[in-house]
Amino acid sequence: MFAVGYGFDPVKSASDAVLWALVAGAAGVASAMYTVFRLRKSSLAVTDEGLIVDRIKYRLHVRWADFEGVNPEKWMGLVRTEALVFRPGRFEPALSPGFQRRLIARGCDRVIRISVYDADWRTGPIGQRLLDTPVDVQDQPLRADP
């Protein structure tokens, strides 16, 4: 007679759980390190004409007059961000035209995740400049609630 047992082995199950916890922890650390690396390789410049974002894969120039609104908070990896939305600006990709089309399809030519660069942007010079810009953003106020 031949029998195959699929019984519960608490020692093996505990060691598997520890192994998977280590794998998940390593993946989390790797994700956090990648997000920090990407954020460190980007910069934001504030000018009289608008904003200039330098990223690893592209550079974006947007004008204050092209401001359309503020997107609510979203997750970017492990970081929660808010985004400023502009009409499409001058977009300079660092890679191929096919890659440029993918970036534009994702909105990279008009969206700046502002809280990545300035966590207190609403009370700083960027928020003040946007408040002075004549646009209608009634459904997305720029001032923080008191």
Which pLDDT value is given to residue 6?
A: 57
Asked if residue 17 and residue 64 are part of one domain, the reply reads no
Count, in order, helices (H) and strands (E) of the chain. Answer: 4, 7
- Is position 140 within any domain? no
Q: What is the CA radius of gyration of the chain?
A: 23
How far is the C-alpha of 84 from the C-alpha of 71, rounded, in Å? 6
Which pLDDT value is given to residue 62?
A: 93
- Is position 138 within any domain? no
Asked if residue 124 and residue 61 are part of one domain, the reply reads yes
Which of 16-25, 27-36, 41-50, 60-69 is least confident?
Answer: 27-36
Which pLDDT value is given to residue 145?
A: 36
How far is the C-alpha of 71 from the C-alpha of 101, rounded, in Å? 22
Whether 88 contacts 109, CB under 8 Å? yes
How far is the C-alpha of 125 from the C-alpha of 103, rounded, in Å? 28
What is the 8-class DSSP label of residue 143?
Answer: S
pLDDT for 37-74, tens place per residue? 555 568 899 998 999 998 888 889 999 989 888 887 77
Whether 86 contacts 62, CB under 8 Å? yes
Which pLDDT value is given to residue 86?
A: 92
Whether 117 contacts 44, CB under 8 Å? yes
Which pLDDT value is given to residue 32?
A: 67
Asked if residue 73 and residue 27 are part of one domain, the reply reads no
- Is position 1 within any domain? no
Asked if residue 79 and residue 49 are part of one domain, the reply reads yes
How far is the C-alpha of 113 from the C-alpha of 51, rounded, in Å? 12
Per the prediction, the chain carries an average pLDDT of 76
pLDDT for 93-117, tens place per residue? 877 778 888 888 888 889 888 888 8
User: Is the pLDDT assigned to residue 19 strictly greater than 50?
Assistant: yes
Asked if residue 78 and residue 57 are part of one domain, the reply reads yes
- Is position 18 within any domain? yes
User: Is the pLDDT assigned to residue 118 strictly greater than 90?
Assistant: no
Range of the domain at 28: 9-40
User: How many domains does one find in the chain?
Assistant: 2
Asked if residue 85 and residue 34 are part of one domain, the reply reads no
User: Is the pLDDT assigned to residue 2 strictly greater than 70?
Assistant: no
Alpha helices in the chain (DSSP H): 10-40, 97-105, 114-117, 125-132
- Is position 142 within any domain? no
Asked if residue 99 and residue 64 are part of one domain, the reply reads yes
